[in-house]
Structures are given as structure tokens and as C-alpha cells.
Amino acid sequence: MCCYLWIHKTLRKPYIGIVEGKYFDNPELIQEKRSRMKIMLLDPEKDLPIETITTILQKAISLYKSGEIKIK
């Protein structure tokens, strides 16, 4: 799994969860208490930051394609 969409339990906001977040230094991504994942909180009242999401997803895909992140 590369990423997922979910609702934050305490903040009640949607977020995109990025698996293997340790490979990302994007300021939009938050580590929280998860060891492998970082999340990007989304404001349901605003338009999605498409450019940022696209950049993060492209990097994630390239990490899997290059073999830096192993696929089981």
C-alpha cells in the first residue's frame, strides 16, 4: 500500500496517509506517533492542494518503482 484516505479521529478532518513517510521531508506531512506513516491533513472547506498531492504521490510511486521501497 502506498497511501490511503481517512478521517483523523481527534481533529475530525480528512487526511491522506503516506506509508513509508520517513522518505519524505515535505513540510505538509505530519509524523504524529506513527513510525512508518506521515499524514497530510486536508481542509474540507478549501480546494485540495492538487500540486502538492501530485508531487507527493509521484515521489511515492518513484520510490516503489526504483526498488528503494520493497514490494512484498
In a domain, 72, yes or no: no
In a domain, 37, yes or no: yes
Q: Give the mean model confidence (pLDDT) for residues 22-32.
A: 91
pLDDT at 56: 93
What total number of domains does the chain contain?
1
In a domain, 10, yes or no: yes
pTM for the full predicted model: 0.85
Q: Give the mean model confidence (pLDDT) for residues 26-31.
A: 93
In a domain, 40, yes or no: yes
DSSP, collapsed to helix, strand or coil, labels residue 14 as strand
Residue 36 is part of which domain span? 3-66
Q: Which residues of 45-56 are buried (b: 16+ CB within 10 A; e: fewer)?
A: eeeeeeeeeeeb
DSSP, collapsed to helix, strand or coil, labels residue 55 as helix
In a domain, 71, yes or no: no
Q: Give the mean model confidence (pLDDT) for residues 29-48.
A: 93
Give every CB contact of residue 11 below 8 A, 6+ residues apart in sequence: 41
